[in-house]
Amino acid sequence: MRMRVQLRAALTILVAALVSAIGLFSFVSQGRFAPSGVDGIATMLSELLGRFFGLGGIRAGYLSALLNLPLLAIAWFVLRRRYVLYTVSYMLLLSGFTALLTLIKFPVYPVTSELDRFLAAIIGGFAQGITGMMLRIGGSAGGVDVIASMIQKRRQSDNIETVIAALSYAIAIFSFCVWGDINAVIFSFVAIFTAEKTTAKMLRDSRRAIRFEIIAPKTVSEEIKKTILFELRRGGTVIDAKGLFLGEEKELIVCLVHYRQFSEFMVKISKYPSVFLTYSEVLGIRGNFDWTLDRERAEDVKMRLARTEPPET
């Protein structure tokens, strides 16, 4: 199992680095966007050093490495060491793939108009957002991702893709002070926004659902449980509850329902006006309730519920 996890991580790093390298080489570099992230800081430093101190020979790539080193050193102690190893592996592969694309003269997206720049921003941002798969395995793409990961560790409520985007936006805005190109900043915003949404999508679990919490009087809770079990074919959890105002006995039924069943569920529950219902989005699920593999328990539940039904009069 451990070997399988490591192989999956290695493949993820390889794919993320390759896609990101193609996006940077073929689209981002051609679109001439305002730089963002740590690479953007390095690019601006290179420009300012050349402009004011005559040190224009210092390449932005070297400055980017110098800026990433202290960040990774801090992350080594603040975050997991695996995080740093994965991140360093990604950065080395990204550099290698970028050099290889240059060597083989990989085709680039021809940018001849503002529309071309806009399309390059979207495609380049999407390629950068794919690096969200690095966050899923416990690594990152380096740069502002490292800073965002450390911030998110201290503030768990913050979405990491939002933190990354906020830092990138700030750097892109500052770049206007260096180059004074407002169009470059706008197209950079397009790329950052696309990358943020793509990363958010990558971080969402494919098994999403709607979580329902139903507070029902015990007079109707049995019917609701039958509906969930035998009509929607879903499981749930039942918790004894008591009304705060009158102290009446109730039951809290917690149930996860697939998105496709949302409308059906709402229609069925609307038959019970005495229930109080809340629902929210669930980003991921662990575990399973498989009706077809649990027939014995299903029959047992049917019998148990049948015993609770009032006799016909």
pLDDT of 16 above 80: yes
Angle between helices 295-308 and 218-226 (to 10 degrees): 150
Residues in the chain: 313
Counts for the chain of helices (H) and strands (E), in that order = 13, 4
Cα distance between residue 139 and residue 26, in whole Å: 25
pLDDT of 62 above 50: yes
Q: Using an 8 Å Cβ cutoff, are 144 and 128 in contact?
A: no
CATH 3.30.70.120 assigned to 209-308: yes
- Whole-prediction pTM value? 0.68
Give me the residue spans of the domains in the chain.
2-203, 209-308
Q: Any idea what DSSP says for residue 261?
A: G
Cα distance between residue 236 and residue 216, in whole Å: 14
Minimal CA–CA distance to 169: which of 205, 194, 199?
Answer: 194
Reduced to 3 states (helix: H, G, I; strand: E, B; else coil), residue 250 is strand
| Tens digits of residue pLDDT in 169-205 | 998 898 888 778 888 889 889 989 999 889 888 877 6
Give, in degrees to the nearest 5, the angle at Cα 251 between 249 and 255.
170
**Other residues' Cβ atoms within 10 Å of the Cβ of residue 234:** 19
Where does residue 189 rank: exposed (0-12), middle (13-18), buried (19+ CB within 10 A)? buried
Paired with 280 in beta bridges are: 211
| Tens digits of residue pLDDT in 79-125 | 888 889 999 999 889 888 988 998 998 998 998 888 999 999 999 89
Stretch 219-234: mean pLDDT = 84
pLDDT of 33 above 70: yes
The pLDDT of residue 207 is: 58
Tokens of 133: 């798969």
Cα distance between residue 38 and residue 179, in whole Å: 17
Reduced to 3 states (helix: H, G, I; strand: E, B; else coil), residue 125 is helix
Percent of the chain with pLDDT over 70: 84
Place of tokens 């969402």: 204
pLDDT of 272 above 90: no
The pLDDT of residue 313 is: 43
pLDDT category of residue 219 using cuts at 50, 70 and 90: confident
Tokens of 113: 């108009």
| Tens digits of residue pLDDT in 278-288 | 888 876 676 66
Which among 49-63, 237-251, 279-293, 295-309 has the top mean pLDDT?
237-251
